Amino acid sequence: MKLRSFIACGLLAAAVSAEDTSRYTAHEWGTFTSVQGSDGQPIRWNPFTESDLPNFVHTRRKPAEGPSVRAQALNLGMLMMKQSTHWFQRMETPVIYFHSEKPLRLTATVGFPSGLITEWYPAASSYGPVFGVTNLFPDVSQSFATWTDLEILPRDAASTGTLPNPPRESAASHYYAARNAQSNPVRTTRGVGLSTDGRGESEQFLFYRGVADFTSPLKVSNPGEEILVENTGRHTLAGLFVWEAQGNKASLTPIPSLAVGAVHHAETDPNRVTGDRSALTRHFKDRLQTALVADGLNPDEAAAMIQTWADSWFDEDGTRVLYLVPRAFTDSVLPLTLQPAPAQLARVFVGRAELIPVDLERRAESLAERFHKSGDTLAAQELGKLVVPRFADSLLNRLHARELAASENWLSFEPSLEPIEKRREAATAKRHERFTALRAAAFPKPATESASLPTAGSIFSTAATATP
């Protein structure tokens, strides 16, 4: 009898467990953006030069607003983490939608071994890395964000008045387009800096962002007149699109798949289409939407993703490749754990490889040389406008690295009795001085510019871990 009861209890527990893990699904989308030179080499760039995120989004510099933050301002101020401003990758706007017929609670943890999670909403229960404070916060070296007891609410919670609408500011932002999808709202009442009134923070999804230094699985180069696309990763790439746009003209080269180690010549592809930019943009959006849905997103989720990044993917002049990031690659660089586990989890990430073409690099080198020789500020300012603002600094970094490499080659052959280490140090200092002046002339700062904006070198970010 006891044995039968034990078996029955075990079967019941298994049934409950199966029900728990099958009563919801989760769909995530996001992007990895990188910049590559004409030779396909990755270039560090500063993704913090501009941000249109609403003020209510939590950041490492401003983890939260509220009484608990103000009460512990001194302690929080001690948790300073030095953060570089130049990275190889910007992880932009991952959002996780939840679909459930019943309310439930779960714990979500996202890790970023080769990067740093920099923004999130709603409030996270804990995150890292942080410099600990004795008897208050533990020292944490890993980059992660955790939402404990995250509530997945009924889909109609907002419309029935049982849940306040998520916050919205009057200024335009990429952030809000993600709300144009049907999903269960989420709420957290356990997070860093939340008030004690129990209302917590709610949203239509879980949101976070970050930066990283991993290498993309795609190499894009422009040796001469053609654009080469090479799969340098460990998995077959699918859903690739080479997009070249300037003024009212554009070209689109769809590449259905690219095997490991394969190189594709975009310019000679018979499927390459060139023509009116407006018409090609509409065609591109349709093709991309189809690819996103095939990879696991619902149609409205895919449309929300495209709407979020339409201006930078399609409207910005330039040459870029968009492609679907293999799920295995995403899981390796950005592990996600949901407990209890969903019945189905889709993780659809788009890789964006922004190419600095060879003709643009040559033009930039010519303008930089004009400035170095004569101090021509107009040449420097023209250089600063060759690419969109957030990639302009990467172009200067590219020129700087090339000058240093050329200087190193010259030092190897230059006859001199002075030790090469001393000559190398002097040459590096000279190049640094030249490019500091060029950067200042190319991007003059208004006198009223806020001192809180990130600058070249490093910034400091406040980080904290709340007690659950």
Reduced to 3 states (helix: H, G, I; strand: E, B; else coil), residue 31 is: strand
So what's the pLDDT on residue 66?
A: 56
Is there a contact between 241 and 57 (Cβ–Cβ < 8 Å)? no
Question: In 3D, which of 365, 436, 360, 443 has the Cα closest to residue 50?
Answer: 443
So what's the pLDDT on residue 72?
A: 52
Who contacts 201 (Cβ-Cβ below 8 Å, separation ≥6)?
Answer: 121, 122, 123, 187, 188, 191, 194
Average pLDDT on 145-155 reads: 93
Residue found under tokens 């492609």: 323
Reduced to 3 states (helix: H, G, I; strand: E, B; else coil), residue 336 is: strand
| Domain chopping of the chain, boundaries | 23-357+458-468, 359-443
Who contacts 71 (Cβ-Cβ below 8 Å, separation ≥6)?
Answer: none
| Rounded distance between C-alpha atoms, residue 222 and residue 355, angstroms | 8
So what's the pLDDT on residue 462?
A: 30
pLDDT at 152 over 90: yes
Structure tokens at 340: 């209890």
Could you tell me whether strands 24-36 and 344-355 are parallel, antiparallel, or unpaired per DSSP bridges?
parallel
So what's the pLDDT on residue 467?
A: 30
- Confidence band for 155, pLDDT divided at 50, 70 and 90: confident
pTM listed for this prediction: 0.84
Average pLDDT on 294-322 reads: 97
So what's the pLDDT on residue 198?
A: 65
* pLDDT tens-digit readout, 380-421: 999 999 988 888 888 988 888 888 777 666 656 666 656 767
So what's the pLDDT on residue 299?
A: 98
CA torsion through residues 86, 92, 98, 104, sign: positive
Q: Quickly count: other Cβ atoms within 10 Å of residue 88's Cβ.
A: 22
- Confidence band for 454, pLDDT divided at 50, 70 and 90: very low
So what's the pLDDT on residue 402?
A: 83
So what's the pLDDT on residue 10?
A: 44
Q: Quickly count: other Cβ atoms within 10 Å of residue 114's Cβ.
A: 17
pLDDT at 15 over 70: no
Who contacts 191 (Cβ-Cβ below 8 Å, separation ≥6)?
Answer: 64, 122, 123, 124, 125, 147, 200, 201, 466
So what's the pLDDT on residue 448?
A: 45
What are the two backbone dihedrals, phi and then psi, of residue 117, each rounded to the nearest 5 degrees? -80, 125
| Rounded distance between C-alpha atoms, residue 299 and residue 294, angstroms | 9
* pLDDT tens-digit readout, 64-82: 665 555 555 555 544 445 4
Average pLDDT on 211-237 reads: 95
Average pLDDT on 103-107 reads: 95
So what's the pLDDT on residue 21?
A: 47
| Rounded distance between C-alpha atoms, residue 200 and residue 65, angstroms | 12
Range in 224-228, 370-374, 446-450 the model is least confident about: 446-450
So what's the pLDDT on residue 252?
A: 98
CA torsion through residues 416, 422, 427, 433, sign: negative
Reduced to 3 states (helix: H, G, I; strand: E, B; else coil), residue 7 is: helix
Range in 92-106, 125-139, 350-364 the model is least confident about: 125-139
- The more confidently predicted of residues 403 and 121 is 121
So what's the pLDDT on residue 107?
A: 97
Residue type, 197: D
So what's the pLDDT on residue 78?
A: 47
Range in 52-66, 109-123, 341-355, 381-395 the model is least confident about: 52-66
Average pLDDT on 56-63 reads: 80
Range in 128-137, 228-237, 274-283 the model is least confident about: 128-137
Structure tokens at 349: 């990430």
Q: Quickly count: other Cβ atoms within 10 Å of residue 373's Cβ.
A: 9
Contacts 24+ apart (CB under 8 A), 267-273: 267/225, 267/226, 267/227, 268/226, 272/242
Who contacts 218 (Cβ-Cβ below 8 Å, separation ≥6)?
Answer: 229, 230, 231, 232, 233, 237, 240, 258, 321, 323, 351, 353
pLDDT at 89 over 50: yes
DSSP character for 377?
A: H
Range in 20-34, 86-100, 201-215, 325-339 the model is least confident about: 20-34
- The more confidently predicted of residues 3 and 312 is 312
So what's the pLDDT on residue 18?
A: 41
DSSP character for 222?
A: -
